[in-house]
Amino acid sequence: MKILVTGGAGFIGSAFIRHMVKTYPSYHIICFDKLTYAGNLDNLREVDHRPNYEFIKGDVEDLNFLVWLFRHVDVVVHFAAESHVDNSLGNSLLFTKSNVIGTHSILEACRVSNVKKLVHISTDEVYGDILEGSFNEDAKLSPTNPYSASKAASEMMLKSYIKTYKLPAVVVRPNNNYGPFQFPEKIISRFSTRLIQGKKVPLHSPKPVRTYIHVDDTAKAIDVVLHKGVIHEIYNIGTEDEISNIDLTRKMLQFFGRDESYVELVDDRPFNDLRYSVDYSKIEALGWKQQISFEEGLQHTLTWYAENKWWWEQMSECQKK
C-alpha cells in the first residue's frame, strides 16, 4: 500500500508517519508538506533513513501537482491545516485559504485520480463547547472561532463530494493532542519551553476545561480508522482526561519547580469555549483503546521538552518575551 500524508512534517502528521513507517515496513509512506512555520523535518529524523519513507515538498493548493501525484498513491491521509485558534483570530483569511481551499484541492485530486480512500483529519472543536455530557458523531456542528469554522467548512465540502461523487472518505475528530514535537504555541508545549527558560507563562483564562489525548494514541487511532473504518463514517477520537487550564498550569509549574508568580494572566480570547468533550465509543468498537494515561504522557512530554532544547530553541516563538 502507498500512503500519502499531507502535513506530514507537522505535529500529529509526523507522529502518524513515525508509527506507520515502523509498524508497516511493507507500506510506502510519503510525507507531503509545504514546510511552513510548524512543519519540521526534524520531527521525522528517526525514520528518514527507512526505505519505506519518502518526503515530497508541496502545497495542498497546487491542484495540478496533486492530481499528478495522487495517481501514484492508494490512500491519502489529510492532516495539512492551519490549527492554532489564536492565529486564526488575527489572520482568519489564511485559515480559509489553507483549510477550506486546500481541502477542496485535495478532494478534487482524490476524485480525479481515483484514490481508494481518504482519511480527513478534523477536530472536536467543530462541535463548539458543551458544559455537560459529550458530543457523538451525529451532533450538529457549531464552531465558534475562525479556526473551527474553517475545519467545519472543509467537512461540508467533503460531505458534498461524498454525496455527489461517492468519494471513499472517512473523517476523524480528535480531542486536544499533546506530546513531543508539538510546536510551542499550544498550552503544554509553549508553557513548558517558557518555564524551562525561566519565563512567565501567559494564561488566557483559568476556567476552560480541555480533554487531552497523547499524540501517539491518536496516531494509532487513525491507523485503526484507515484499516477498519467504514467508508463515509465519522469517528471521534478521545479520552476521559479532562483538566482545567489552571490545574494543568499548576502541574507544569510543579514539574519545573516554579511557583505561581510565574503565571501572568493576560486578556482572554474574544470568545473562549469552556469545555470540549466527545463520545468515542464508536472508534473503540473498531478495537482502539487509549494506551497512554494523561499523568504518564504529561510527565514524559515535559521531560522531553527539558531534554530536547536543540529542537525548540531555534524557534522564534520560544524566544518571545
For 104-120, b/e burial (b = at least 16 CB within 10 A) is bbbbbbbbebebebbbb
Q: Is 264 known to be catalytic?
A: no
CA distance 172 to 120: 6
Nearest to 235 by CA among 276, 287, 274: 287
CB distance 141 to 151 below 8 Å: no
CA distance 247 to 136: 26
Sequence-distant (6+) residues with CB within 8 A of 200 are: 194, 261, 262, 263, 264
Q: Is 147 known to be catalytic?
A: yes
Sequence-distant (6+) residues with CB within 8 A of 191 are: 201, 249, 252
Nearest to 161 by CA among 126, 111, 122: 111
CB distance 7 to 13 below 8 Å: yes
63: its cell numbers: 491542484
CA 134, distance to chain mean position in Å, is 20
- Catalytic residue chosen out of the listed positions 108, 124, 129, 223: 124
- Catalytic residue chosen out of the listed positions 125, 155, 185, 273: 125
- Catalytic residue chosen out of the listed positions 53, 147, 161, 178: 147
Residue 6 DSSP class: E
CA distance 172 to 9: 19
Q: Is 37 known to be catalytic?
A: no
CA distance 5 to 58: 11
Sequence-distant (6+) residues with CB within 8 A of 290 are: 213, 217, 239
Active site residues: 124-125, 147
